[in-house]
Amino acid sequence: MHKLYLVMVGLPARGKSRLARRICGGLAADGFRSAIFNNGDVRRQLLGAESTLPEFYSPDNAEGRRIREEICQRNLARAREWLNREGDVAILDATNVSRTRRAFIERSLTDHPVLFLECVNEDPVLLNACIRNKTRLPEYAGYTEDEALASFVGRIGYYEAIYEPVGREQYWLCVDTMAGRILAERPCEGSPYYPAIREIVVSWWVQSLYLARHGQTEYNVQGRIGGDPPLTARGRMQAEALALHLRDQKLDWVFTSTRMRSHETAAPLLRGRYDTHVMAFKEFDEIWAGDCEGMCYSEIRETMPEVTAGRNADKYHYAYPHGESYAMLRERVRRGLQRALFLAGELPVMLVGHQAINRVILSLFLRQREEDIPYINVPQNQYYHISLTPRRKLIERISY
């Protein structure tokens, strides 16, 4: 059986290590032995704080360059030795952003094919969040947050100065890590690992997602849509019950919409969870009913019968006057979800959404027929628990 070197490429904070770990786990589930050789780990072991300074990464710093090349060579040797002894896929995790570095790797590793996997992610929200996350690494322990930020941004700048996209190498795959989309590729044909890696890259990868709808609001009681109403007493009780039900569940990330009912539902869940990250995304705001915002369904039926008729005929594609349709929601919800899952990585996530939003999220996982999506059941006393990998699909609805 062939073996493979998989070499990560990309600027810092583009999701390389996360994808490397995912590929390693995914290949293991397929019965392939893979291991990660991370240059950063070796650097931190060998050099400690000295290599945290941005100048260490300057292309003009000959000594820094020499040390980093040495670390690269050391990992190439370890990977080669491991692959020839017992492994199937050796994953080399480092920036490898210059053509010179990649040409060197191709010249050094001639016993098995070398596939370069370039990770691209220019989403400003994610980039910002990922860079902030980096400042919490132990190597920045002696820095204030602003100092760490400046130092890391300086480091990225040095890598940007020498960055050249893949293209001249023999085998490569260029991936948008947030969207899980292949942007371009020169496939490693005949390798049994190539299709497996490709599948891992493009699949939804959800370790554990709890998807709840906000509790009852006054608008819900009146059959009124949209707006920004607070929870009713019953809605607050539902929020408490959800928090109680999940009290022993680790939730590292909680995502809400920007609406009050979503925040109020998340509040009891967050009580005492001091390390939980919380983010509100506009992408998770409820379907915008345009001219019908704040109206009751009965009022719409009487005063704007064409809206009711339009929705009855094709609820998925019908857009409210000056508002949205379910079809229009799909892209923004997908973007929000991809961001949320990228940020959370392998950690458990809670998302407190809305009726239409949660239907669209579920449809992304369920491959539902379009006409059925606007009717998916999203009750206020049950949540969905979702866990998905290319080999596992778990979607359960749980009462609380």
**Closest CB to ligand F6P among 225 and 351?**
225
**Closest CB to ligand F6P among 229 and 348?**
229
Q: Active site includes 261?
A: yes
Q: Which of 38, 39, 75, 220 is catalytic?
A: 220
- Site string (337-376) toward ligand F6P, x via CB under 6 A: -----------------xxx-----------------x--
Structure tokens that stand for 114 in this block:
């070398």
Strand, helix or coil at 340? helix
Q: Active site includes 220?
A: yes
Q: Which residue has the tokens 């009713």?
A: 232
Backbone dihedral angles phi then psi of residue 333, each to the nearest 5 degrees = -65, -40
**Using rule CB under 6 A, residue 38 touches ligand F6P:** no
**Closest CB to ligand F6P among 75 and 358?**
358
**Using rule CB under 6 A, residue 101 touches ligand F6P:** no
Could you tell me the CA-to-CA distances from 145 to 137, 253, 390 in Å, in that order? 11, 21, 37
Among 225, 242, 267, 337, binds ligand F6P (CB under 6 A): 225
Q: Which residue has the tokens 């480091």?
A: 155
Element (H, E) at 238: helix 233-245
Q: Active site includes 273?
A: no
**Using rule CB under 6 A, residue 113 touches ligand F6P:** no
Q: How far is the CB of 241 from ligand F6P (least distance, A)?
A: 19
Determine the Cα–Cα distance for residues 304 and 125; give it in Å rounded to an integer: 39
Q: Active site includes 354?
A: yes
Side by side, which strands form the sheet with 253-256? Answer: 277-280, 253-256, 349-353, 206-213, 382-389, 392-399
**Closest CB to ligand F6P among 134 and 224?**
224
**Closest CB to ligand F6P among 10 and 226?**
226
The C-alpha angle with vertex 142 and arms to 140 and 148, in degrees rounded to 5, equals 45
Strands 206-213 and 349-353: parallel
Could you tell me the CA-to-CA distances from 222 to 38, 219, 225, 299 in Å, in that order? 57, 5, 9, 11
Among 120, 175, 289, 361, binds ligand F6P (CB under 6 A): 289
Q: Active site includes 70?
A: no
Q: How far is the CB of 294 from ligand F6P (least distance, A)?
A: 9
Q: How far is the CB of 209 from ligand F6P (least distance, A)?
A: 20
Nearest to 20 by CA among 9, 32, 31, 4: 9
Among 226, 229, 235, 353, binds ligand F6P (CB under 6 A): 226
Q: Which of 75, 354, 358, 359 is catalytic?
A: 354
13: left (phi over 0), alpha (psi -120 to 50) or beta: left
Q: How far is the CB of 281 from ligand F6P (least distance, A)?
A: 16
Strand, helix or coil at 10? coil
Which residue stretch of 25-33, 34-42, 73-81, 219-227 sits at the interface with ligand F6P (rule: CB under 6 A)?
219-227
**Are the CB atoms for 292 and 321 separated by under 8 Å?**
yes
Q: Active site includes 213?
A: yes
Amino acid of residue 77: A
**Using rule CB under 6 A, residue 286 touches ligand F6P:** yes
- Site string (231-270) toward ligand F6P, x via CB under 6 A: ----------------------------------------
- Enzyme catalytic residues: 213-214, 220, 261, 286, 354
- Kindly list the residues in this chain that would bind ligand F6P in the complex (CB under 6 A): 220, 225-226, 286-287, 289, 354-356, 374
